[in-house]
């Protein structure tokens, strides 16, 4: 009986601690979104990193953090966060699209073909 009580108490504690982390995660996510809309990217990064402290399994927080890192030019950090988001939610079309666009943006730009001199002299 005592073992069952200990197990139930531990389980209740785990449920309560994880339930408390959900509102904290959502609060940090909301503030991060507000900050990003204000172009306060350092604040957004701070908030989304805090959200991940409360819930490391949040694909949305990883994705948002990746977008912020990308906008700040922190390419390696962005890639790491996109990859983490995809591991957590591989079928999410928004995350997939963001990562694909990120990869395209990193591809070297192909130089435009040079115009022939005759083409340049045409009126």
- Go through the domains of the chain in sequence order and give each one's CATH number: 2-106 (1.25.40.10)
Among 17-26, 27-36, 60-69, 100-109, whose mean pLDDT is lowest?
17-26
Output the CA torsion sign for 71, 76, 77, 79: positive
- As a whole-number percent, the residues of the chain with pLDDT over 70 amount to 70
Is the pLDDT at 16 greater than 50? The verdict is no
Output the CA torsion sign for 74, 80, 83, 85: negative
Contact partners, residue 86, CB within 8 Å, separation at least 6: 59, 92, 95, 96, 99
Output the CA torsion sign for 29, 31, 34, 39: negative
What is the distance, to the nearest Å, from the Cα of residue 116 to the centroid of all Cα atoms in its chain? 46
Q: What CA–CA distance (Å, rounded) separates 116 from 60?
A: 49
- Whole-model pTM: value is 0.71
What number is the average pLDDT over the span 82-105? 97
What number is the average pLDDT over the span 25-32? 90
């Amino acid at each position: 009986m005592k073992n069952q009580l200990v197990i139930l108490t531990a389980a209740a504690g785990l449920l309560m601690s994880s339930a408390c982390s959900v509102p904290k995660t959502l609060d940090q996510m909301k503030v991060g979104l507000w900050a990003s809309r204000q172009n306060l990217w350092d604040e957004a990064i701070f908030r989304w990193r805090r959200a991940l402290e409360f819930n490391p399994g949040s694909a949305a927080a990883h994705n948002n953090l990746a977008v912020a890192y990308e906008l700040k030019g922190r390419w390696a950090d962005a890639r790491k966060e996109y990859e983490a988001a995809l591991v957590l939610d591989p079928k999410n079309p928004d995350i997939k699209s963001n990562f694909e666009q990120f990869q395209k943006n990193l591809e070297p730009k192909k130089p435009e073909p040079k115009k022939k001199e005759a083409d340049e002299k045409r009126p």
